[in-house]
Amino acid sequence: MIGVYDSGVGGLSVWKELRAAMPAEDFCYVSDGAYCPYGPKDPAFVVDRAMAVSRFLISQGAEVVVVACNTATAAAISTLRSSFAIPFVGMEPALKPAALRSQSGVVGVLATAGTFKGRLYLNTLARFSGRVKVIEQVGTGLVELVERGEVAGPEAESLVGRYVRPMLEAGADHIVLGCTHYPFLTGTIARIVDGRAAIVNPAPAVARQAQRVLADLRERTGKKQPAGKPGLSTFFSTGEDTVLRQLVRQIAGPQADSYLYHSLYII
Can you give the pLDDT at residue 51? 98
Judge whether 28 counts as a catalytic residue: no
Write out residues in the chain with pLDDT < 70, as ranges.
266-267
Q: What tens digit of pLDDT does each residue of 74-94 get?
A: 999 999 999 999 999 999 878
Q: Which amino acid is at 125?
A: L
Same domain, 219 and 192: no
What pTM did the predictor assign?
A: 0.93
Same domain, 168 and 243: no
Residues 6+ apart with CB under 8 A from 122: none
The overall longest dimension of the chain from CA atoms, in Å, is: 54
Q: How far apart are CA 119 and CA 73, in angstroms?
A: 10
Same domain, 113 and 76: no
Task: Characterize 144-157 residue by residue with b for buried, 16 or more Cβ atoms within 10 angstroms of its Cβ, and e for exposed.
Answer: ebbbeebbeeeebe
Same domain, 84 and 99: no
Q: Which amino acid is at 176?
A: V
**Choice among 53, 62, 66, 69 that is catalytic:** 69
Q: Is the dihedral of CA 11, 125, 48, 77 positive or negative?
A: positive
Same domain, 103 and 63: no
- For residue 80, give the CATH number of its domain: 3.40.50.1860
Can you give the pLDDT at residue 266? 58
Can you give the pLDDT at residue 229? 80
Same domain, 146 and 212: no
**C-alpha angle 9/15/191, rounded to 5°?**
65
Same domain, 70 and 164: no
**What is the C-alpha radius of gyration for the chain, rounded to an integer number of angstroms?**
18
**Choice among 125, 168, 179, 200 that is catalytic:** 179
Can you give the pLDDT at residue 38? 94
Q: Are 201 and 177 in contact (CB under 8 A)?
A: yes
Nearest alpha carbon to residue 204 among 73, 66, 111: 66
Specify which residues 178 forms β-bridges with. Answer: 111
Judge whether 179 counts as a catalytic residue: yes
Q: Quote the number of domains for the chain.
A: 2
Q: What angle do the packed helices 154-169 and 186-193 form, to 10 degrees?
A: 50
Can you give the pLDDT at residue 130? 87
Q: Which helix (H) or strand (E) holds 125?
A: helix 119-128
Task: Give residue 152's domain range.
Answer: 95-201
